Structures are given as C-alpha cells and as structure tokens.
Structure 1
Amino acid sequence: FYKGAKGIVYTFDLTRRETFYNLLTWKEEVESKIGVQPNILVGNKLDLLNSDIRKIKLEDTNILKQVLTAREYYETSAKLGTKVDDAFSKLALEMYKASNENE
C-alpha cells in the first residue's frame, strides 16, 4: 500500500511505548519500497494523557524526529481533532515543496 506515496505520517500511541519503537522498523520498510519522502512524526491519543500515563518523553521524540528525518513533530488527538489539521497541512506543504524541487 505504499505505491505512489509522496508523504509519510509516522504515528505512534503516546500511551504505548512499543508503538514508538516500532517506527524504526516501519521507516526501513517504507523507505525500501518508496525511498525517502517528506514525513512528519505524530504522537496520537493526546486526549488520554496525564502525567501518570505518558510513556514517551519529549526528549525521546526529538531524537526519533532526527532519526526519521521528520519535518515536524505533533501531538494529536484523533478523537478530539487536536492538531490533526496542523499535522496534515504541514505534510501537504512539505510534499508540495518536494514536488516543485523535483520538476
């Protein structure tokens, strides 16, 4: 399901640490199929967070953002719609820039 993809949303669950680490495997798989594409990093389920349940530290997301070469990091809530538009708008802008550079 990667064919023709021109952008990537690397998404993990802010309440489940294993989903964060799985992104390294996803990066390898995706790039082997479609190469390096504009991408963003998204931590989802912001609506479920409180200080007791947060499993991913901001410092860790900054490191992963660099490893993934993500253009930006967003913490979102799909349930509430928090920052979802911001994340996809940023990805769309980066995809547009990349397509203009390739012409």
Structure 2
Amino acid sequence: MIDTKIFDMLYSYLEERSDNNVRSQLNADPEYQNALAEECELYQKYENLNLSKEQCKVIENWVDAVTAQNSTYSAVLFRMGMQCCFSLLMQLADLK
C-alpha cells in the first residue's frame, strides 16, 4: 500500500500557493460552480422538509458515506495518475 502522506503534502502545497491554487481553479471551473449551486439549492430544500431528527440523521449518514466513497475514488484515481506520470518519466529518462 502506498503511503498517502505525500498526497496530503501535495494537496496542502496546491491549496497554499499564492496564485493558480485550488481555490482559484475551483472558482474558475463552471462545472464545479454549477455543482456547488445545485448542492446549495438541494440543501435548502432538505432543510425545508421538516424531517424528524432520526430521518435527518439517516440522510446525513448516507450523504457522508457517498462523500467518503467519492473522495476515496478520486484519491485512488489521482494516485494512479501520478504513478502513470512517474512511470512515463522514468521510461522517457531511459530513452536518452
């Protein structure tokens, strides 16, 4: 298993850059902005459903599980992409 601390460090670096950082990329990405607007709209609808605390807890746990699954999926794809890039760089270095 790969140590994921390197990915945490990379994320922190990308988040803290003064320009061209994660926030500026997300602000400029129309798909992200549309998804964010949709999330806000759906959350407002959820808040207005007047569900019981138990019902809310079930939905919130479900959303947390889906979010965790999507985050893990994204991290695995990112890791695989980085491995492919490093592998390609190593192959190109041998082609001198």
**TM exceeding 0.5:** no
Which fold has the larger relative contact order, with Cα–Cα distance below 8 Å and residues 6 or more apart in sequence?
A: 1
Bigger radius of gyration among the two: 2
TM-score calculated relative to the size of structure 2: 0.31
Q: Report the structure, 1 or 2, having the larger helix content.
A: 2
TM-score calculated relative to the size of structure 1: 0.29
